[in-house]
């Protein structure tokens, strides 16, 4: 799904109204249909036995709400339409919708936060419509303002909330909460989903997002240059590589995983096991000699081999052995459980500098790269996929201070010429060309040590099977998250483990085959 920014939506509206001469009130009416239908779907009984509160601002988003209120009233719902703001500031279209509402016998009421009777009526509603602010909101909702108090009332009510286009208080481009934000159960996005509904805290405020066609010509929507999109099942299905019916193990990629230490012996096993489960033909696992027997006893399908170590972590002396093995492999996954130390850092940096093969860098491999970004920059033109969480990303020099994870990831990928998988709630994959892919799978059960090692194995496996780097990263994240969702359904997010995620990968693959 393409995701738009506030500026992109403003331009689409302008093109439809000014260039294609579509009346703006017609767009508003069609938007209202989607909002009203969403509200009706949440009612617990017949419309005639239910009541709804519609909170409206003075802008066109408020006009959408006023129009939706009229449609709810015509369906038999008892409606009160509450204006938060100034009547004098109503836009021309919102004024026209107010007139149409009045013709039905329903008036737009000024909302007084001190009116306890009105607040009690709202608390007794069966559904609430949030139409205070649209995608143009760029300033924080002031503490103690009537807008903030309206948002607080909506959030305290038991009734489900439907947001018109975007939950009020959510920044459309970043998902940041601007002071206060409504927590919607459903959001009806107009024409296109908004970036802020799928990243940051905006995800938590948007509920179930649906997209309503409000009449902007399809060719304008198709032509809109939206560098951000979601990764969903259709993307995953298209990116999944076909397997040759008569193929042999060499046709499905050779992967070398290098990692492990006495302290983190489980990490490389999880990476290798996930790679095998994800379809890779041959998976080799290089670990310190001190833990080789442990890995050999665990790994049935992957092939562990010992490397020179020093005090339980890989020694720099292992460099030549790794390079020799890597020459016969398609991809190197470097870092899971690697540990820290001067020799580890030298090993990682020299492998990155000298390896021509694609590299998936994770965990302590990323930590070794910090303060040596020139080594990453020198790999521009070669495939490098980094999979940091926020803390590792900051150590690499990434800037999350603005609260916009998508932009931060995109800027980093462009500067350093790599594919960046910024892990977290709604993991984002960014590429040097400026595109950002937002994942839509996963749950809190993945927030456990070892989950990142599984993700590295899935991505590296797909890359070894010939999937292009961007698709391998985004598909790997989707499969990892979907397997996590299936594990959570069976075991709950509390009880699931990274090994359970690996065990549910087959079901995730089956869904898209």
DSSP of 133-179: --TT--SPPPTTSHHHHHHHHHHHSSS-EEEESS-TTB-TTT--B-S
What's the rounded mean pLDDT across residues 8-25? 97
pLDDT at residue 402, as a whole number: 86
- Cβ 337 vs Cβ 301: under 8 Å: no
Q: For the whole model, what pTM was predicted?
A: 0.94
Residue 42 has pLDDT above 90, yes or no: yes
Residue 255 has pLDDT above 90, yes or no: yes
pLDDT at residue 277, as a whole number: 98
* Structural domain total, the chain: 2
Segment 187-207, tens digit of pLDDT: 999 999 999 999 999 999 999
Are both 175 and 51 inside the same structural domain? yes
What's the rounded mean pLDDT across residues 279-287? 98
Segment 332-344, tens digit of pLDDT: 999 999 999 999 9
210, 226, 242 — which closes off a domain? 226
The CATH code of the domain that includes 68 is 3.40.50.10260
Are both 366 and 499 inside the same structural domain? yes
Distances, alpha carbon 42 to alpha carbons 36, 160, 197, 209, 224, in Å: 10, 7, 20, 14, 32
Residue 300: domain span: 234-512
Residue 229 has pLDDT above 90, yes or no: yes
Q: Which residue's structure tokens are 């302290």?
A: 263
Helices (H), 396-468: 405-416, 451-464
Q: Going by DSSP bridges, is the β-strand pair 436-439/428-430 parallel, antiparallel, or unpaired?
A: antiparallel
What's the rounded mean pLDDT across residues 369-383? 96
Residue 180 has pLDDT above 90, yes or no: yes
**pLDDT, averaged across the chain:** 97
Residue 269 has pLDDT above 90, yes or no: yes
Q: Going by DSSP bridges, is the β-strand pair 282-288/254-258 parallel, antiparallel, or unpaired?
A: parallel
Residue 213 has pLDDT above 90, yes or no: yes
195, 226, 257 — which closes off a domain? 226
Specify the range with the lowest mean pLDDT, choosing from 170-174, 246-250, 348-352, 379-383: 246-250
What's the rounded mean pLDDT across residues 507-513? 97
What's the rounded mean pLDDT across residues 254-271? 97
pLDDT at residue 403, as a whole number: 87
Are both 172 and 272 inside the same structural domain? no
Burial 133-159, CB ≥16 within 10 A → b, else e: bbbebeeebeeebbbbbbbebbbebeb
Are both 96 and 206 inside the same structural domain? yes
Segment 75-97, tens digit of pLDDT: 999 999 999 999 999 999 999 99
The CATH code of the domain that includes 355 is 3.40.1190.20
Residue 231 has pLDDT above 90, yes or no: yes
Are both 192 and 284 inside the same structural domain? no
Are both 156 and 271 inside the same structural domain? no
Are both 115 and 68 inside the same structural domain? yes
204, 226, 248 — which closes off a domain? 226
Residue 214 has pLDDT above 90, yes or no: yes
Are both 221 and 241 inside the same structural domain? no
Residue 264 has pLDDT above 90, yes or no: yes
What's the rounded mean pLDDT across residues 407-425? 97
Segment 389-412, tens digit of pLDDT: 999 999 999 999 988 999 999 999
Are both 220 and 240 inside the same structural domain? no
Segment 482-496, tens digit of pLDDT: 999 999 999 999 999
Give me the percent of the chain exceeding a pLDDT of 90. Answer: 98
SS (H, E, C) 461-489: HHHHCCCCHHHHHHHHHHHHHHHHHHHHH
What's the rounded mean pLDDT across residues 461-483? 98
Q: Going by DSSP bridges, is the β-strand pair 193-194/228-231 parallel, antiparallel, or unpaired?
A: unpaired
């Amino acid at each position: 799904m393409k995701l738009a920014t506030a500026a992109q939506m403003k331009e689409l509206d302008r093109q439809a109204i000014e260039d294609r001469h579509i009346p703006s009130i017609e767009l508003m009416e069609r938007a209202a249909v989607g909002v009203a239908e969403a509200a009706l779907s949440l009612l617990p009984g017949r419309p005639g036995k239910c009541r709804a509160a519609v909170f409206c601002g003075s802008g066109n988003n408020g006009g959408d709400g006023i129009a939706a209120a009229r449609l709810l009233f015509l369906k038999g719902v008892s409606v009160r339409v509450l204006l938060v703001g100034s009547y004098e500031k109503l836009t021309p279209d919102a004024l026209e919708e107010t007139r149409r509402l009045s013709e039905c016998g329903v008036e737009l009421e000024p909302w007084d936060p001190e009116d306890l009777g009105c607040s009690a009526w709202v608390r007794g509603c069966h559904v609430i419509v949030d139409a205070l602010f649209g995608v143009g909101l760029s300033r924080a909702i002031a503490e103690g303002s009537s807008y903030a108090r309206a948002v607080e009332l909506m959030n305290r009510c038991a009734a489900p909330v439907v947001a018109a286009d975007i939950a009020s208080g959510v920044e459309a481009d970043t998902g940041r909460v601007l002071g206060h934000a409504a927590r919607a159960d459903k959001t009806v996005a107009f024409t296109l989903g908004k970036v802020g509904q799928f990243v940051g805290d905006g995800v938590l405020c948007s509920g179930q997002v649906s997209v309503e066609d409000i009449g902007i010509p399809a060719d304008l929507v198709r032509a809109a240059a939206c560098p951000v999109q979601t990764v969903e099942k259709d993307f995953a299905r298209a990116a999944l590589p076909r397997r040759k019916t008569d193929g042999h193990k060499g046709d499905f990629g050779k992967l070398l995983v290098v990692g492990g230490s006495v302290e983190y012996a489980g990490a490389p096993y999880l990476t290798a096991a996930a790679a095998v489960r994800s379809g890779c033909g041959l998976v080799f696992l290089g670990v310190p000699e001190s833990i080789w027997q442990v890995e050999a006893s665990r790994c049935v399908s992957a092939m562990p081999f010992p490397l020179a170590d020093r005090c339980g972590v890989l020694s720099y002396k292992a460099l030549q052995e790794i390079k020799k093995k890597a020459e016969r492999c398609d991809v190197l996954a470097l870092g899971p459980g690697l540990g820290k130390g001067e020799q580890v850092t030298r090993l990682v940096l020299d492998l990155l500098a000298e390896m021509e093969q694609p590299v998936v860098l994770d965990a302590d491999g990323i930590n070794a790269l910090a303060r040596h970004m020139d080594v990453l920059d020198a790999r521009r033109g070669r495939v490098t996929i980094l999979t940091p969480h926020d803390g590792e990303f900051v150590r690499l020099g990434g800037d999350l201070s603005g609260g916009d994870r998508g932009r931060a990831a995109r800027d980093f990928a462009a500067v350093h010429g790599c594919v960046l998988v910024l892990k977290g709630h709604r993991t984002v994959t960014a590429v040097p060309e400026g595109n950002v892919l937002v994942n839509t799978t996963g749950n809190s059960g993945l927030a456990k040590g070892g989950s990142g090692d599984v993700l590295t194995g899935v991505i590296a496996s797909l890359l070894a099977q010939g999937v292009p780097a961007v698709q391998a990263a985004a598909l790997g994240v989707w499969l990892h998250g979907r397997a996590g969702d299936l594990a959570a359904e069976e075991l709950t997010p509390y009880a699931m483990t990274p090994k359970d995620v690996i065990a549910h990968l087959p079901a995730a693959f089956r869904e898209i085959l």
